[in-house]
Structure 1
Amino acid sequence: MTSDTRAKMVAGAADLFSRRGVNATSMREVVRHTGTPRGSIGHHFPRGKLQLIEDAVVFAGKQVSGPLAHLTETRGAIAGLRTFIALWRQTLERTKFQAGCPVLAVAVEQYVNDATDKGGEPDEAAQQHLLDLADGIFADWQRIMFAALRREGVAPARARRLAALVIAATEGTVALCRAARSAQPLDDVRQELELVLSSVLEK
């Protein structure tokens, strides 16, 4: 039961971060959102909100990397690309275009330590730590695509650039979809990325 409560809070925090961002989400909101006991905050996250952010971002990263690795290993780079984009489409449509990527939220926000009476102030050490964490997750997604392309014969330098293109294009398009409240940008980008990968793999 204890591990279930912690897992529920981590998943719930990732969901809220994807909708509202990191600084706009309080620990109390996570408790309300997940229906977990208030006392579970200190028990499961003795380092407070920063620890919850870390765990939520790692959780969000694995939600993508697991399926992406499996599909690219069993069905190839293009199938992996389709899966990667389909995951974001499902998230966008399920939340009525309210949710984006919690990893991206961590990467673009300036972390504010809310443990002061002044209503919060930037915490540079924590910010750097979270940026390193987000960078590692983005790099992990890129490594998966890189490995898939290499298995299909793409040269290392080109595979690295294409992997970066896939991740960057998809992450940016999620923001376009939220603004447009439509999955059309994601569909457009998927088609173009598939054309690029197909042209490379046919050589």
Structure 2
Amino acid sequence: MTSDTRAKMVAGAADLMSRRGVNATSMREVVRHTGTPRGSIGHHFPRGKQQLIEDALVFAGRQVSGPLEHLTQSRGAIAGLRTFIALWRQTLEKSKFQAGCPVLAVAVEQYVNDATEKAGEPDEAAQRHLLDLADGVFADWQRIMFTVLRREGVAPARARRLAALVIASTEGTVAMCRAARSAQPLDDVRQELELVLSSALEK
């Protein structure tokens, strides 16, 4: 039960981050959103909100990297790309275009301290650590695409650039879809990325 409560809070924090951003995701809101006991916060997250955000960030990364790695290994680069984009389309449509990427939220926000004596102040040390974690998630997603592209014969330098293109294009397009309240930008980018990858795989 204890581990279930903690997992529920981490998943709930990731969901709130994807909708509201990092600083608007308070411990109180996570408790309300997940229906978990308020008293469990200190037990599961002794370092407070920063620890919860860190764990939610890692969780969000794995929610994408697990399926992406499995499908690229079993079906190849193009199918992996389609799956990666389909995951985001599902997230967007299920949330009525309210949810985006919690990893991107961490990357673009300045983390604000929630400690009582420094509440509301930027926390530079925490910011650096969170950015390192976000960078690691993006790097992991790129590694997965790089690996499958290399396996299918793309040269190392080109595979690295293409992997970055896939992740950067998809992340940016998710934001566009939220603004447009439509999945059309994601569909457009998927088609163009498929053409680019197909051309690279033919050489």
* TM-score bucket (shorter structure): over 0.9
> How far does residue 111 in structure 1 lie from its aligned partner after superposition?
0.3
Take 1:108 and 1:116, find their aligned partners in 2: how far apart are those partners? 24
> How far does residue 115 in structure 1 lie from its aligned partner after superposition?
1.3
> How far does residue 90 in structure 1 lie from its aligned partner after superposition?
0.3
Moved over 6 A (4+): none
Take 1:120 and 1:2, find their aligned partners in 2: how far apart are those partners? 31
Take 1:164 and 1:25, find their aligned partners in 2: how far apart are those partners? 29
1:37-186 equivalent positions in 2, closer than 5 A:
37-117=37-117, 119-186=119-186
Take 2:128 and 2:119, find their aligned partners in 1: how far apart are those partners? 21
> How far does residue 118 in structure 1 lie from its aligned partner after superposition?
6.0
Kept after mapping to 1: 8 A contact 2:112/2:119? no
Take 1:94 and 1:3, find their aligned partners in 2: how far apart are those partners? 27
> How far does residue 119 in structure 1 lie from its aligned partner after superposition?
4.1
> How far does residue 19 in structure 1 lie from its aligned partner after superposition?
0.1
Summarize deviations over 1:19-67 as a string: whole Å, max 9, x none: 0000011100000000000001001000000000000000000000000
Summarize deviations over 1:74-104 as a string: whole Å, max 9, x none: 0000100000000000000000000000000
Take 1:137 and 1:173, find their aligned partners in 2: how far apart are those partners? 18
Structure 1 vs Structure 2: percent identity of aligned residues? 91
Take 2:23 and 2:44, find their aligned partners in 1: how far apart are those partners? 20
Take 1:80 and 1:163, find their aligned partners in 2: how far apart are those partners? 12
Take 2:142 and 2:32, find their aligned partners in 1: how far apart are those partners? 35
Deviates more, 1:116-125 or 1:160-169: 116-125
Counterpart secondary structure, 2:116: coil
Ranges in structure 2 where 5+ consecutive residues have no aligned partner = none
Counterpart secondary structure, 1:177: helix
Ranges in structure 1 where 5+ consecutive residues have no aligned partner = none
> How far does residue 116 in structure 1 lie from its aligned partner after superposition?
3.0
Take 1:157 and 1:106, find their aligned partners in 2: how far apart are those partners? 28
TM-score (norm 1): 0.99
Take 1:110 and 1:195, find their aligned partners in 2: how far apart are those partners? 36
Deviates more, 1:91-100 or 1:115-124: 115-124
Aligned residue for 2:189? Answer: 189
TM-score (norm 2): 0.99
- 1:24 paired with 2:33, answer no
Take 1:196 and 1:77, find their aligned partners in 2: how far apart are those partners? 11
> How far does residue 117 in structure 1 lie from its aligned partner after superposition?
4.8
Summarize deviations over 1:102-153 as a string: whole Å, max 9, x none: 0000010000002135641001000000000000000000000000000000
